[in-house]
Chain A
Amino acid sequence: MTGLQKKRLNGGLIDRSQPIDFTFDGESYTGFAGDTLASALVANDVALLGRSFKYHRPRGLIASGSEEPNALVTLSRGAAVTPNTRATMVELEAGLTAAPQNAWPSVRFDAMAVNDVLAPFLTAGFYYKTFMWPRAFWEKLYEPAIRRAAGLGRLSTAPDPDLYDRGFLHCDLLVVGAGPAGLMAALTAGRAGARVILADEDFALGGRLNAETLVIDDAPASVWLATALAELASLPNVRTLSRTTVFGVFDHGIYGAVEMGAPTAKDHAPRQTLWRIYSKSCTVCAGATERPIAFPDNDRPGIMLAGAARTYVNRWAAAPAQRIAVFTNNDDGHRTAADLAAKGLTIAALIDTRANAPDCTDANETFKGAQVIASEGRLRLKNIMVRTASGGRRQISCGALAVSGGWNPNLHLSAQQRTRPVWNDAVAAFVPAPDAVAGQRLAGAAAGDFSTAGALSGGVNAARAALADLDIKVKHSKLPKADDAPTRITPFWYVSGTKRRAWLDFQNDVTVKDVALAQAEGFRSVEHVKRYTTLGMATDQGRTASTNAIGVMAALTGQDIAQTGTTMFRPPYTPVSMGAFAGRSRGKHFRPTRRTPTHTFAEANGATFVEVGQWLRAQWFTQSGETHWRQSVDREVRAVRNDVGLCDVTTLGKIDVQGVDAAAFLNRIYCNGMAKLPVGRVRYGLMLREDGIAMDDGTAARLGEDHFVVTTTTANAGAVYRHMEFARQCLWPDMDVQLISTTDAWAQIAVAGPKARKLLQRIVDPAHDLSNGAFPFMACAPVTVCGGLRARLFRISFSGELAYEIAVPARYGDALMHEMMAQGQDLGATPYGTEALGVLRIEKGHAAGNELNGRTTAAMLGLGRMVSTAKDSIGAVLSRRAGLAEDTHRLTGFVPVDGVTPIPGGAHLMREGARQIAENTLGWISSAAFSPTLNSPIALGFVTLADARKGQTLRAVSPVDGLDIPVRVVSPHFVDPEGGRQRD
């Protein structure tokens, strides 16, 4: 069939010099640049595009735009597979491969079409009534079976190879829709100098101007359109976004939009861009969507909306059939007949439900006050049956039927903030409620103003009103002259008096009967009917279905339509790919990675990295011959206990605290006293939350009378800084204190072990005396290292050994590590990671994140006496409250009775012989490790009455792992309980 476009007419907005080959359902076809997949298929005389959701009925195109419910296809481009794509919105591109959905083995012969025969059993609520028992079968049997039989496209489950960007735009006026109203709004605001964004979902701007044979200023509308677009392009303050759907309105004038990439975009360009548009004002000119009329078997391929038929013929020169009938309740159907006849197509008949309908000279026959009551043709329409005004029947042969039931304004963006649209009898449609969204106005068909003249003036007026709000002056300019025909329509929702099914929601296979059944079963609210029948719930969200269903409901109940009301509108207006929301945040770019200053050193020295928040930290350093991580960790721990170890501790939060009131401020932040800390000294500090629970621990180093550096745990660096800023700004704004994070600015390396001083004496410049007398435990000072580089030295110990932390500007961290390793070679200098760090602190009985878990108090941590009663501090009062103060859980140590069995972290502690039930728990294991120093597993944990239980045997119970291990309660200080080593 290649090259043969049987149904291509003359004219149209297509470029015949650019043929494009594509594939649909395994067959090759050719279209032209300017085609959509849908228009190219129409031109190639392909009417059958898929099978319906539930009954697997043959389906073809109904619409020509984003409202299309039937023509959902799966697109393939290389590894990219995109299901549920509307053929009407796919810009034809070379090599495009599309496949129909929901059909097996083929769209022409679909085995699941048996569902259509079973239709009497598959009515609304069928699932709820049928698959109730046995309960377990729903998830395992029924739902998977139904999902296979009914459904839309399938995901490939492979990673999406396409790229997506996200971005942010700002404007004075956002204009949604580039039809006559939107163009006039954009021109008006653009000429006034306002920043304008004009967005349209189509790749060609112009809206209905591209689809109609309208006259503006006594010339074809295309002339005016070209002039308008050229003027907009010349205005630097106007940004035009084609292929861009504004899908949602959010708070404060923020709109969400998705821009599709052009088919000509380069391979490495993003396929879609999600824009967040910050607008001061918005004019919605989103046009209107035509609605069908429900009549028996109205879903055959070839039966389509009258406006769509007109669009295919006028814009794309593609004829749905040579012989076409029109079924309408309004004057717009007559326009279709006229346009199609003008293109040389035969209008077999025009059937108008109105008895007072105008004559139609373009049709072979006009039936007034008549209805279409049946259709025939298995895979494509062949005949329709007409019931005439007098009750007679006439069969009419036609390959397509153009149906118009009137037009619904596309008012979704005005209704997404819970204000429901209101019914307007004059145009027989729901129109936007006034002032539904702050800063938003509607114009043109979206506002219920269906004439071209009305659209042009409405666009101007909406823009003028928006600019007046923004104090932007508007120059007067002449309004283009256009047709101002009134809308003449007599609402007609469905053909009654027949037993055959008449479709309302084509995408979800919901018929008039289903709505009637829901009504009969007591579902009266429009929201309930929607849920029960699934009408309006598929990817098209009932764009062509909802108003008709409301009309049917109103007719069935005798209510008027205004009382029946609409369902709730919610974003998105049309489906948005999950990939667009994710943007670049995928895979390794999901979140940023923070690297320590010695990352390069660690990589080169066999480090295994662990994620700690966003940080990548060395967990251990594997040396040659080591085959298990425990070998590396044990070696690193021994190096610290016997020689000297080096560990990058940059990740610990550092907060610079300065100001006249710095000491007084920290005295209120920490529960222990900080005011009298001498300059040149460091103090361990504990801060509590307002509720008295321990928040974080760390050190405060006093570098000057009015200058401290506070450290936090790695995990709490952000939280502690926020807490301190809150206290500074909100609790005590009168204190003269300034805070700033310096975590990243300084590379900080722990130098721990009996030979630490010896090593540092080779690093720190000789002017600085590091002897125990001159620089004792808990001393700090600015020093210089390696021949003059400014540094800070802190004598603090997390391991319990003689230890220091040395800080240099971050860019020198890696070099300092290398230098210390070189200088410490004869001392056994060894880099150690977070795992050894953990073992060392457990051996020493120091609390860390596992112990500071948001449920423990200072007393429980064995730090109760740190909570000063001589001053007030955050959390001090509530730490003494009833219920908290009596908690006897205390941090203590545990060893396995047999000396060899590892103690599981998180295990519950119970008495010997006690049943494994929650009531019997005496506490829990918080941290566990193998201690190479003791050559035994050890653990820290919290247990009630810990001091009294010292020496007792308890059980560490882990029902999850089936473990029950006898443990002995011991001191939490496994190594050097007197603390002599760190002071030597």
Chain B
Amino acid sequence: MTEFRLAPLCATGGPAPRSIVLGNVTITEVPDIAIASVAKRAGGASALTECARVLTGTDVPGPRRVAGSAGSMQFMWTGPEQWFVLAPLDGRQVLADDLAARLRGAASVTEQTDGWACFAVEGSGTAALLERLCALDIARMEAGMADRTGIEHMSCFVICDAPGACYRVLGARSSALSLFEALSCVARGLA
């Protein structure tokens, strides 16, 4: 991926992503995810809808929803008239530039790739873990739902990819290690 002289580090501080198996939960850092924020500008609704349809095959999602499938391009609702676009990082170094070019002023696009750390939380113990970490109604989250919440004083997004089995937790990159520890401490208690 890197044709330049600099080697990237993962958000948790090392060259390799962190991963840990604790009982029925596996927590894995996901570094290869590109993120761009998209905020609608005045009069940009139709262009934005068109863009989402082309990229994800569906409309921009409403509150607490993700459109598109994990592993390809996804739109995640983050606030009124705001979304995150998530994509595999491979070859998407310039996701924000691509989107800005497509949207041509219909929305403000900001690169967020390295603003966030992403952890995949998988296994049969994930619901028990997440209900001890955040106030979301985890049991009622369906695949394709996402919500903003607080985890041990950290502002996070929780995305449900498969209910009771597979979730992604996004938190600020600078506190990635604290988030990883918060997840793994509670998971260790349940193991």
Nearest chain A CB to B56 CB, angstrom units:
21
Asked if A595 CB lies within 8 Å of chain B CBs, one says yes
In the complex, what's the smallest C-beta–C-beta distance from B119 to chain A, in angstroms? 14
Contact partner of B39 among A740, A785, A786, A816, CB < 8 A?
A740
Known contacts A168-B131, A745-B113; A591/B153 CB under 8 A? yes
Q: Give CA–CA (A984, B100) in the complex, Å.
A: 36
With contact pairs A595-B177, A745-B173, A809-B114 given, residues A660 and B7 touching in the complex (Cβ less than 8 Å): no
Given contacts A811-B10, A814-B9, contact A656 B110 (CB under 8 A): yes
| Residue A524, interface by CB 8 Å | no
The reply to whether A614 and B175 contact each other, CB–CB distance below 8 Å, is yes
Whether the pair B114, A738 counts as a contact (CB closer than 8 A) is: no
Q: Answer whether A816 and B188 are a contact pair too, CB < 8 Å, given A168-B131, A744-B114.
A: no
Contact B186 A584 (CB under 8 A): yes
Residues of B within 8 A of A596 (CB): 174
Interface centre among B3, B11, B108 (most CB of A within 10 A): B108
> Does B111 make an interface contact (CB < 8 A)?
yes
A170 partner residues in chain B, CB cutoff 8 A: 137, 139-140
Cβ distance A764 to chain B, nearest Cβ, rounded Å: 12
Cβ of A631 within 8 Å of any chain B Cβ, yes or no, is no
Q: When chains A and B are docked, how far (Å) is the Cα of A819 from the Cα of B5?
A: 8
Which of chain A's residues have a CB closer than 8 A to the CB of B4? 784-789
Question: Across the interface, which residues of A come within 8 angstroms of B188, CB to CB?
Answer: 268
Beyond A585-B152, A595-B174, whether A742 also contacts B11 by CB under 8 A is no
Whether a CB of chain B sits under 8 angstroms from the CB of A570 is no
Q: Does A269 contact B (CB under 8 A)?
A: yes
For residue B171, which residue of chain A has the nearest CB?
A592
For the complex, is B98 an interface residue (Cβ under 8 Å from A)?
no
Identify which of residues 583-608 in chain A touch chain B, using a CB-to-CB cut-off of 8 Å: 584-585, 589, 591-597, 599-600
Q: Assess whether A165 is in contact with B189, with CB atoms less than 8 Å apart.
A: yes
- Contact: B110 with A809, CB < 8 Å? no
Whether A615 lies near B174 (C-beta < 8 A) is yes
Residues of B within 8 A of A786 (CB): 4-6
Q: Binary interface profile of B, 82-123, with partner A (CB < 8 Å = 1, else 0)?
A: 100000000001100000000001011111111110000000
Q: Given the complex of chains A and B, what is the CA–CA distance between A278 and B138 in angstroms?
A: 13
Neighbouring B residues of A591 by C-beta, 8 Å? 153
| Contact across chains for A589 and B131 when beta carbons are under 8 A apart | no
Closest to A808 in B: B6
A566-590 near B? 1/0 per residue, CB < 8 Å: 0000000000000000001100010
List, in ascending order, chain A residues with CB within 8 A of B42's CB: 660, 736
Count contacts on A: residues with CB < 8 A to the other chain.
62
Question: Are B189 and A268 in contact, CB atoms less than 8 angstroms apart?
Answer: yes
- Tell me whether A167 and B190 are in contact (CB under 8 A): no
Indicate if the CB atoms of A584 and B112 lie closer than 8 Å.
no
Contact check, A810 vs B173: say whether CB atoms are below 8 A apart: yes
Check: B178 CB closer than 8 A to any chain A CB.
Answer: yes
* Interface membership of chain A positions 734-760, coded 1 if the CB is closer than 8 angstroms to chain B and 0 otherwise: 001010111111110000000000000
Q: A270 on the interface (CB 8 Å rule)?
A: yes
A593 touches B178 (CB 8 A): yes
User: For the complex, what is the distance from the CA of A627 to the CA of B136, rounded to whole Å?
Assistant: 51
The answer on a CB contact under 8 Å between A594 and B110 is no
At the interface, yes or no: A659 with Cβ under 8 Å from chain B? yes
Instruction: Report how far A786 CA is from B42 CA in the complex, Å.
Output: 38
Bound Cα distance from A600 to B13, whole angstroms: 7
Binding site for B on A (CB under 8 A): 163, 165-170, 195, 268-270, 273, 276, 278, 584-585, 589, 591-597, 599-600, 614-615, 650, 656, 658-660, 706-707, 736, 738, 740-747, 784-790, 808-816, 819
Between-chain CB contacts (< 8 Å), 30 pairs: A167-B132, A168-B135, A169-B131, A584-B186, A589-B181, A591-B153, A592-B154, A594-B174, A595-B176, A595-B177, A614-B175, A658-B108, A707-B108, A738-B108, A741-B115, A742-B115, A743-B115, A745-B113, A745-B115, A786-B6, A787-B4, A809-B114, A810-B114, A811-B10, A811-B31, A814-B9, A815-B6, A815-B8, A815-B9, A816-B6
* Chain B interfacial positions (CB closer than 8 Å to A): 3-11, 13, 31, 37, 39, 41-42, 82, 93-94, 105, 107-116, 131-137, 139-140, 152-154, 172-179, 181-182, 185-186, 188-191
